[in-house]
A = this chain, B = another copy of it.
């Protein structure tokens, strides 16, 4: 079963210094939604959100849907977590406990980010 979170995000400490790890971090998940799979993808996202929102270190999340149907990425999620470790722990728990498969053909690119300019 394909998973919402890439394995690379779940391994170790992301190679960060302790100070960097203590800062809030943004998870951005760019969904490559197959034709006709918008609603199943949103339901899959909701199940993941319901699990993750109960985990320690969760701050907020926002699922963005494109206004135009020809946008390359129809859904993009932007979530804030207390630290990379808090997110990693929550994602590991979700992989172990949540048994909701994504819609067939759904691809996503999830990574942790920091705001570098505003």
Contact = CB atoms under 8 A, between A and B. Distances in A.
Contacts of A58: none
Contact of A111 (B28, B68, B114, B117): B68
Interface in A90-118: 109, 111-118
Interface in A59-76: 60-68, 70-73, 76
A64 to B, nearest CB: 4
A63 B30 contact: no
A45 interface: yes
A49 interface: yes
A103 B113 CA distance: 22
A117 B61 CA distance: 8
Contact of A109 (B63, B68, B72, B111): B72
A4 to B, nearest CB: 15
Interface centre among A9, A15, A45, A115 (most CB of B within 10 A): A115
Interface of A: 8-9, 14-16, 25-26, 28, 30, 42, 45-46, 49, 60-68, 70-73, 76, 78, 84, 109, 111-118
